[in-house]
Amino acid sequence: MTYIPISPTERDAMLKTIGVKSLDDLFKDVPAKHRFPELDLPPALTEMEAAQELQELSDSNESTRDLVSFLGAGAYNHYIPAVIDHILRRGEFYTAYTPYQPEISQGTLQSIFEYQSLMCALTGMELSNASHYDGATAAAEAVNLAWAQFRGKRTKVVVPPSVHPQYRAVIRTYTQGMGVEIAGDDPSSVSSDQSSVISYQLSVNSLEALIDENTSLVIVQYPDFFGRIYDYTKLIQAAHEKGALVCVAANPTALAMLKTPGDMGADMVVGDGQPLGIPMWYGGPTLGFFTTKKAYVHKMAGRLVGETVDNRGQRCYVLTLTAREQHIKRERATSNICSNQGLLALGAAIYMSVLGKSGMKQVADLCYQKAHYAAEQLSQVPGYSLCFNDPFFHEFALCCPKPAAEINEHLLEHGILGGYDLGQDYPSLPNHLLVAVTEMNSKEEIDLLVETLAEVSHD
């Protein structure tokens, strides 16, 4: 194959085919003065100059390489083993899109199959699809599954405000015009008055009261948006008694050390795969994972890879149960998603493989221990306290003596990317900072955060 896309001979043959003598003749209907309009561009740069300019532009960004970061709220700063990028950049993987002519790409299918198998093990579920674009769209697909399962006869979806605000926003976008009623989604119902710390148990009880015979799905987050860990087993039982399905949106890092949503009886487990070896990249792209039980496979969105044997008895991989997908089932399909996030799903599979069970547990344990050290130290600083008493994983809400935005400004002046300002999504929590701690944060960094926050309270 030649590098030059079209040779003069090919061009002449094409012109001859359409009956045009020359390129000028081809464009003669475009008025001459519009053919090459003068563009208002600065003088051309040499490659050296351009590289320098781009480097300068890039240097004006500040990333977690330059700053000490305690920012999480859905995207977490984890160590990414070098081998991931090394494998991802292989041409065989790097240029591939979701397999539309799948069986010719056995390597791609095998990598997706392994990703699916690992996600099942992590979530405690029977079946995983080939992935979605991010956690929020995966959660919205859970609503679609439940809607299809009850054929639109159950119209209510219960989503508490402790589910990620962006997930809730995407669910609302997805379900516009479907006739779905979202219940329990009131951010102002979250409060954390110092005098009356709301325990998560209480908010779960009020959630249970919303589940009725018209409820198709209950979505809860684990750990929830505020980092709290809660065993949903009883809530799931209560939902099942009303005939509703339950989807748990989970953080995959936490699943390495916590009881799995599968063990709690969840019908679907979704979430964002970003913590599994994917950079934060200023917000994306990430990876959405979606796992469920075999009973719901025919209503599941997305692609699904299965293992089988070919006509010579050799192990091979296929896209399976495709007749449920939109390109075959058309408007009767659960979802219009027939794609996946192939490259990043492979990245997640490599991450889980190289860390292994014990490595994943070690990362989770480091996050947990460091976050608890940070919480303990911070709650001793005058003016600061933990907003909730519940068990938490690697993120916690901190009640501050001033608006969180002001606190973050001060921290940034000291080279610290503070926590997430909860007031952005929860008007009742203006002085509340969501602080995330991962294995990347050293004890020195945590101590620096504590000292710097102590300064703010004296201002």
Partner 1 sequence: MNTPANLKYTKSDEWFDPQSGAMGLTDYAQSQLSDIVFIELLVEAGDTIEAGKPIASVESVKASAEIYASAGGKVAAVNKALSDKPETLNSDPFGEGWMVKVEGGKTGEVMDAAEYVAYCESRAH
**Minimum CB separation from partner 1 for residue 316, in Å?**
16
Report d(CA 315, CA 305) in Å as an integer. Answer: 13
Cβ closer to partner 1: 330 or 458? 330
Cβ closer to partner 1: 298 or 372? 298
Tell me the C-alpha to C-alpha distance, in Å, between residue 70 and each of 61, 308, 316, 399.
17, 45, 44, 15
**Minimum CB separation from partner 1 for residue 297, in Å?**
9
Q: Give 251-263 as a DSSP string.
A: -HHHHTTSPPHHH
**Minimum CB separation from partner 1 for residue 120, in Å?**
21
Contacts of 397 (CB under 8 A, 6+ apart): 192, 226, 227, 386, 387, 388, 422, 429, 432, 433, 434, 435
**Minimum CB separation from partner 1 for residue 332, in Å?**
7
Cβ closer to partner 1: 178 or 321? 321
Cβ closer to partner 1: 154 or 324? 324
Report d(CA 95, CA 346) in Å as an integer. Answer: 13
**Minimum CB separation from partner 1 for residue 324, in Å?**
6
Cβ closer to partner 1: 149 or 175? 149
Cβ closer to partner 1: 16 or 327? 327
Contacts of 182 (CB under 8 A, 6+ apart): 157, 159, 168, 171, 172, 175
**Minimum CB separation from partner 1 for residue 236, in Å?**
24
**Minimum CB separation from partner 1 for residue 321, in Å?**
7
Beta bridge partners of 245: 217
Q: Amino acid letter at 339? A: S
Task: Report how many helices (DSSP H) and strands (DSSP E) the chain contains, helices first.
Answer: 17, 15
Report d(CA 397, CA 256) in Å as an integer. Answer: 22
Per-residue DSSP letter, 46: P
- Please say whether the beta carbons of 179 and 155 come within 8 A: yes
**Residues forming the site for partner 1 (CB under 8 A):** 151, 298, 321, 323-324, 328-329, 332
Cβ closer to partner 1: 320 or 385? 320
**Minimum CB separation from partner 1 for residue 151, in Å?**
7
Closest CA to 98 of 83, 117, 85, 111: 111
Helix 443-458 to helix 404-413 angle (10° resolution) is: 120
Cβ closer to partner 1: 150 or 426? 150
